[in-house]
């Protein structure tokens, strides 16, 4: 099995398999320096793109430095992530044909103001790369914010390349 990086319709660069991959196969490992959530937040303060993968409950983060960091999100992916004893594997959940783009569901959380819009093109696309739980949490938080304005820090623990936007003061939303 060989993976290549080339431009993708989903987002910038993507990761493709040059060979057929059987369901259940480990396609790649998500590797990179391990940081505490606090370290990850401060070390990525300046970079426009982050490739962070939150482990377990998000207290430890892998700062992606590997082929797997180029794998794009899809709401209808052909792979999933598997965390085994602190290591993260990308595993095929269905057969992958030669030339197919490798994808998994990022299930983002903790994305601050970013909307993390999804362009995966799947029929059942959620429209965002956030996890269904996070979508509910953000909706609830937005409702709350109309009454009370919590001082929310922008933190990210995900593999998604999130374009960094300048932090804006929370505005009263009339909606």
Contacting residues toward Zn ion, per CB under 5 A: 75, 118, 120, 125
Q: Least CB distance from residue 30 to Zn ion, whole Å?
A: 20
Cβ neighbors of 106 (< 8 A, separation 6 or more) are 73, 116, 129, 158, 159, 160
The residue (of 120 and 160) whose beta carbon lies closer to Zn ion is 120
Query: What minimum distance in Å lies between the beta carbon of 37 and Zn ion?
Result: 26
Q: What's the helix, strand, coil split of the chain in %, to 5?
A: 15, 30, 55
* Cβ distance to Zn ion smaller for residue 120 or 162: 120
* Shortest Cβ 113–Zn ion spacing (Å): 20
Residue number with CB closer to Zn ion (32 or 111): 111
Report how far apart, in Å, the C-alpha atoms of 124 and of each of 118, 152, 158 are.
11, 31, 21
Q: H helices of 23-131, where? A: 37-43
The SS3 call for residue 34 is strand
Residue 106 beta carbon to Zn ion: minimum distance, rounded to whole angstroms: 10
Cβ closer to Zn ion: 16 or 106?
A: 106
Phi, psi of 12, deg, nearest 5? 35, -105
Which CB, 123 or 148, lies closer to Zn ion?
A: 123
Work out how close the CB of 54 gets to Zn ion at its nearest, in angstroms, rounded to a whole number. 20
């Amino acid at each position: 099995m060989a993976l290549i990086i080339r431009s993708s319709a989903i987002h910038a660069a993507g990761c493709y398999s040059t060979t057929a991959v059987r369901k259940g196969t480990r396609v790649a490992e998500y590797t990179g320096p391990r940081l505490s959530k606090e370290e990850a937040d401060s070390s990525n303060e300046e970079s426009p793109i982050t490739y962070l993968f939150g482990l377990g409950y998000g207290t430890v983060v892998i700062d992606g430095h590997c082929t797997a960091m180029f794998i794009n999100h899809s709401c209808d992916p052909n792979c999933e992530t598997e965390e085994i004893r602190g290591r993260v594997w990308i595993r095929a959940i269905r057969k992958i044909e030669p030339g197919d783009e490798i994808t998994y569901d990022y299930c983002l959380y903790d994305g601050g103001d970013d909307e993390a819009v999804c362009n995966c093109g799947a029929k059942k696309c959620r429209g965002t790369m956030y996890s269904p739980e996070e979508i509910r949490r953000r909706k609830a938080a937005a409702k709350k914010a109309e009454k009370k304005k919590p001082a929310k820090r922008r933190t990210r623990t995900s593999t998604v390349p999130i374009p960094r936007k300048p932090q804006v003061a929370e505005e009263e939303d009339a909606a």
